[in-house]
Every structure is written in structure tokens, then in C-alpha cells.
Amino acid sequence: MKKPIILAVALLFALTESAFAQPLKVFILAGQSNMQGHASISTFDSLASDPQTAPLLQEMRGPDGVPRVCERVWISSIGCLGDAYSDLTEAKGKLTVGFGAPEDKIGPEFTFGLTMEKSLNESVLIIKTSWGGRSLHTDFRPPSAGPFVLAKETEELWDKYPEGAHGIPKAEDRPKFYADKAADTGVYYREMIAHTKKVLEDIKRVVPDYDEQQGYELAGFVWFQGFNDYVDGGMYPNQMEVGGHDAYADLLVHFIRDVRKDLSAPNLPFVIGVMGIDGLRGDKNAPMMHFREAQRRPSTLGEFQGNVIAMETAPFRDDDLEKLSDRMENCWPEVDAKVAEEMKTNPNADSWENKMKLMAKNFTKEEWKRLSGASNGGYHYLGAAKIIAPIGKAFAESLIGMQAAEADDAPTRDGTLHLFSFGVVAAIQCPSVDDLMGAMLAVSWKH
């Protein structure tokens, strides 16, 4: 009886490619400024000098040295253009560089897409929704979390200062504060969901050769956010203590549940990018250590086992580059003083080129070359492609790893055929060839 079943399985793979075409894999990338991406394209060369990142640079560029354009990965992105804080202008097309904030930068999406294209060998759509300076407690607040509520300790502190104080509004101004918060609550959560649904309702607008019969599959969600919650002492007044960011963890649990509900994807694989802007030392120092614990906590809950993981980004931090960047920041008063002196005789001394010439005198030739790998502040992972590019790749590999674990954990038994894809397992058990073939043809992939 085993031979007919083997024959039937062989016939399955002999059927036309279109009959069993894989659904278009759709990945959602969301968050604030580090999901937007502030790594300048000018920092790409810095990957070449490190054996750990040089191979990735080869994937990021073609043989001609020009950044690659993915042939099978498309992207629709909002939030990175205009003011990068509230803009809803869409950027779309085949994935390449320039989908960061703004067009001369990359975020995690570039190497995420490159990795997915290489690993899956099939078409991929990335939907990216990210806005700078946005919190989970207000801007991305999920519906099931309820209305915005100021921390009890903060309210009690405010009550002691009806006339106001530093960081505390006057009593007469507080109704407006709460009204503004109510108006802002959940705005960017709703924009994220709305844009995702808009793209999914007309995929051909973004992916011209999309086959509607092929369908699509929501294959993963990556959340890379946290800075505005991390620094908000009003919302998290006990942030220096263990559990001081527990409210963030609770909000993140609501967020995952609501995203899955609103997108009708109850088992949507979810990756949480754990904040790494302080590097590995952040795991030892408050408040960062407590905030990271809050970001990790959802992945430990029973309901999320196997489908939510927390991915650490701190190991990708470049401590040496950060030290050089800090030195450069400390040199600015001296450089500005020299520029002011030179301007007495040279009105062009205030040019950026001259400032950089004066700044370079504070560093060795090798150090100055290393500094070209940074283009932004520490809170933006130094705007370094050497940091952001590996993070994007790791996000993709985390989702791929979840798929592999799902496949490994699926039961197998005689007479059962398992068909695997991201987030979908179809199992067919049939006593005969006719029954098996009939079941095969009845398989439909989830959209």
C-alpha cells in the first residue's frame, strides 16, 4: 500500500506549478525611528573592513558596487517621508536602498528583504509602517488596552503642585493635556492597520505581477520600537526599579493580540526587537535593563510560545564606533571656537568642509576612516549600516527559524502528508490513492 501513496505524492509535485503556487509571503515591519532607519547609504563601506559583516555587504551590492534591487521583493512604506513624524505619503516599489528616513538611508527592511529573497526563493511583500518619536503608551496604543491613563504615582505628584513645576502642568492646563492625549491615543496603531489593509486589498498596486489565485499569507510581523517609552518618566515613574516598565510589557501583550485580531491572523509570527542602543552594558544598568525585560516578557507567556520571540539587538552595537562618535561630539566646542576665530579673516570658514577638516585633526587617519561609518546619534544606532544591516538580517532569520521550528514540531505518521509554509500546516491522511489525490486537490492555503 505504500507504493501507491508514494506515487500519489510524486504526482502532486508533477502537477502544474500554478496549481500549487505558494501564496505571496507578506511581512509587516512596524515601529518608530529605528524601524524607519537612519543608516546613511554612505556608511556601507564600513562593513567591508569587518570579516563578520563583509559577506553581508556583498549581498547588499551587485558586482558593479551599486546597491542591489530585489527582483522578487516589493515594499510599501509610510511614515518615512515628509516630516517623518506624521507623514502618510507612501513609497513603494521593488525593494532597494532609500526606504529609510529619508531616501538616502536604509532601515532594517533592506537586509530583511534580501535575506527573505535568498532564503525563500519566492515572491515577498513588505509592508512597513513607522513614524519617529512615537510611543506605545499613547501613539501606538492598542484598542484593548483602553484609554490613556497617566501613572498613579505621577498623578499624585501633580496633585502636590497645583501651580505647576518643571515638567508638571498647572492644574488649569491639565484638562487640555488629557484632551490632547485622548485625541492622540491609538492614532498610529490605526494608521498601521489601515495601511496594511489598504495594501492587502489591492496587492497588484504594489506587486504588479501578483496572481490573485495564488493568494497571500501574512507570514510575520516585526516590532522595533521603544525609545519614547523608555525615556518617559511620567508614564513609567518607577523605571529605575525592577518591574518599572511592566506597563509597557502589558501594552505589548495587548498590541500583539490586537494586531492578530484586526488582521484576522491569530497565529501571526511575531518578532520583538529588544532595544540595544546601550549595547551589552544595558543589561546591567537601570533603567535600560528593566525596559529590556519588559520587551522580552510577552515571549515568555504560554499563549505566545513558539510564535512570539524577543530578538536582542544589543550584540550588534559597535562599542568602538560609539566611543569615537562620543569623542567627536566632545570636540565640537573646540572646533566651533576655531571656526569663529578663522571667520575674522575668512568669511567661508563656517563651511561644513572646513569644519570637518578641523575636526579630523583630532583623530588618527584610521579613526577618521572608522568615523565615516556613523551618520547619526547613538539613539539611532549611530546611523551605521554596519549595525542596522545585520539587525535586519537577524529579524528575517528569526522568522525563518520560527518556520523551521514549526515544521520540526509537526507530527508525522504513516499515510499523512504534511505541507508546510510560513504559519500554515496542512495535513492530509488518506487510506487510498484516490482519497489522497482528492484531498490534495482540495487543499487551500490560508490568506
Amino acid identity, position 233? G
The answer to whether residue 414 scores a pLDDT higher than 80 is: no
pLDDT of residue 405: 82
Higher pLDDT, 426 or 261: 261
Average pLDDT over residues 374-399: 98
| Predicted local confidence at residue 441, as pLDDT | 39
> Does the structure show a pLDDT above 80 at 427?
no
CA angle (106 as vertex; 29, 322 as ends), nearest 5: 105
Residue 433's Cβ-count burial label (10 Å; 0-12, 13-18, 19+) is: middle
Nearest to 212 by CA among 225, 220, 221, 203: 203
**Mean pLDDT (the chain, rounded):** 89
Question: Looking at residue 410, what is its pLDDT?
Answer: 53
Give the pLDDT confidence of 198-249 residue by residue, as tens digits: 999 999 999 999 999 999 999 999 999 999 999 999 999 999 999 999 999 9
| Least confident span in 29-43, 116-130, 234-248, 428-442 | 428-442
- pLDDT of 211 reads 94
Please state, in angstroms and rounded to a whole number, the distance separating the CA atoms of residues 4 and 414.
Answer: 13
Of 69-78, 139-148, 399-408, the one with minimum mean pLDDT is: 399-408
Q: How sure is the predictor about 20, in pLDDT bands with cuts at 50, 70 and 90?
A: low
**409: pLDDT confidence band, cut at 50, 70 and 90?**
low
pLDDT the model gives residue 384: 98
In whole angstroms, what is the distance from residue 188 CA to residue 184 CA? Answer: 8
* pLDDT tens-digit series, residues 304-348: 999 999 999 999 999 999 999 999 999 999 999 999 999 999 988
When pLDDT is cut at 50, 70 and 90, the band that residue 403 belongs to is: confident
- Identify the pLDDT of residue 266: 97
- Residues 91-122: tens digit of each pLDDT: 999 999 999 998 999 999 999 999 999 999 99
225's grid cell = 520600537
pLDDT at 447: 37
Quote the pLDDT of residue 373: 97
With cut-offs at 50, 70 and 90, classify the pLDDT of residue 406: confident
| Residues 53/390, Cβ–Cβ less than 8 Å | yes
What are 121-174's pLDDT values in tens digits? 999 999 999 999 999 999 999 999 999 999 999 999 999 999 999 999 999 999
Go through the domains of the chain in sequence order and give each one's CATH number: 23-148+185-318+384-412 (3.40.50.1110), 158-184 (no CATH), 319-378 (no CATH)
Mean pLDDT of 412-429: 38
pLDDT-based confidence at residue 13 (cuts at 50, 70, 90): very low
Q: Which amino acid, residue 433?
A: V
Supply the pLDDT for residue 271. 98
The share of the chain scoring above pLDDT 90, in percent, equals: 83
Structure confidence at residue 436 as a pLDDT band (50, 70, 90): very low
Cell of 69: 534591487
Q: E-strand spans in 57-212?
A: 73-78, 90-94, 105-106, 124-130
Mean of pLDDT values over 391-405? 94
What pLDDT score does 6 carry? 46
Q: For position 445, what pLDDT does the model report?
A: 36
Q: Summarize the confidence of residues 31-58 as an average pLDDT.
A: 97
- Calculate Rg over the CA atoms of the chain: 25
